[in-house]
Amino acid sequence: MMIDVDQVKLLIQSRRSVKPNFYTTEIVSDEIIYDMLESARWAPTHGLTEPWKFFVFSGNYKHKLADFLSELYQLKSSVNFLQTKYEKIKTNILKTSHVIMIGMQRQINGKIPEVEEICAVACAVQNMQLTATAYGIGCYWSTGSMSTHSETKNFLGLREADVCLGMLYVSNYTGEIITPKRTPTLEKTVWIKN
Ligand SMILES: Cc1cc2nc3c(=O)[nH]c(=O)nc-3n(C[C@H](O)[C@H](O)[C@H](O)COP(=O)(O)O)c2cc1C
C-alpha cells in the first residue's frame, strides 16, 4: 500500500492545539466526532487491551460537565480559589462544540503496565487530533481544569484503577494559530551507526 508521505507529513505538522478563545459557535457534526473516535480505535495497543474509554459531552450535557468541574475546583482550591478560574472552567467548556473526556481503563489482570496503557491512550488521542486536523476542525488536549482529578474519574463512572487523562476540546474555529517552535530532530536523537 502506498500513501503519499508528503500528505501524511503535512497532516502531522499542521496539527495545532487550538484553544477555546479561537472557537466559533458553529457545532461540529456528530459524524466528524464519530470519525475521530473511529480513528482512535486504530491506535497501537500492547496485548490488544484497547485501554481507552471516551465520554463525549455535547449540547446541554456540557452544562453538567462544566458545573461538575467548576464546583470541584471550588471545593478543592480553598484558599487559592480564584473566581476568574472558576468562571473560565465553565465558559471554556460551554463555548466548545464537543468535549471528549479521555479515560484509561486498566485490565483486571493488570498484565500490561499502566504506563503502556497510558501510552496507548495517548496514541488514540493523537489519531483523533489528526483526524480533526484533516477536517479543518480545531482541538486541544487539556489536562487542566480538574479534568485529571480522581473525583472526575468517579463522575465518569471509571473504576479505582482507571485514570482520567484529561479532556479533548473539539470545535470549529477562526483565526491564525501560531506554530510553536520545535527542537531540530538531531538534537533529540542519538543515532548509533557505523
Ligand atoms: C498530554 C497533554 C496534555 C496537555 N495539557 C495541556 C494543558 O493542560 N494546557 C495547555 O495549555 N496545553 C496542554 N497541552 C497542549 C500543549 O500545550 C501543546 O501541545 C504544545 O503547546 C504544543 O503546541 P501544538 O500542540 O500546537 O504543537 C497538552 C498536551 C498534551 C500532549
Any domain includes 38: yes
* Residue 17 near ligand 1, beta carbon < 6 Å: yes
Ligand 1, residues 73, 142, 147: which to mutate, most atoms within 8 A of Cβ?
142
Structural domain span for residue 170: 15-177
In a domain, 129, yes or no: yes
Instruction: Determine whether the shortest distance from the Cβ of 16 to ligand 1 is under 6 A.
Output: yes
Helix (H) or strand (E) holding 2: none
Q: Residue 95, by phi and psi: left (phi above 0), alpha (psi -120 to 50) or beta?
A: alpha
10 part of a folded domain: no
Give the tens place of pLDDT for each residue, 154-189: 999 999 999 999 999 999 999 999 999 999 999 999
Our mutation pick for probing the ligand 1 site, out of 121, 123, 140, counting the most ligand atoms within 8 A of Cβ, is: 140
31 has pLDDT over 90: yes
How far, rounded to the nearest angstrom, does the alpha carbon of residue 82 sit from its chain's CA centroid?
25
CATH code (residue 108): 3.40.109.10
The packing angle between helices 5-14 and 114-134, to 10°, is 100
Number of domains in the chain: 1
Judge if the beta carbon of residue 142 lies within 6 A of ligand 1. Answer: yes
114 grid coordinates:
499502566
Asked whether residue 1 is domain-assigned, the answer is no
Quick check: is 36 in a domain? yes
Nearest-atom number in ligand 1 for the CA of 182 is 27
What's this model's pTM, rounded to 2 decimal places? 0.97
> Where are the alpha helices (H) located in the chain, listed in sequence order?
5-14, 30-40, 61-77, 83-94, 114-134, 150-156
157: helix, strand or coil = coil
Is residue 113 included in any domain, yes or no?
yes
Residue 14 near ligand 1, beta carbon < 6 Å: no
DSSP β-bridge partners for residue 102: 54
Residue 192 maps to a domain: no
Give the mean pLDDT of 119-129: 98
Contact 162/105 with Cβ under 8 angstroms? Answer: yes
Task: Classify residue 186: in a domain, yes or no.
Answer: no
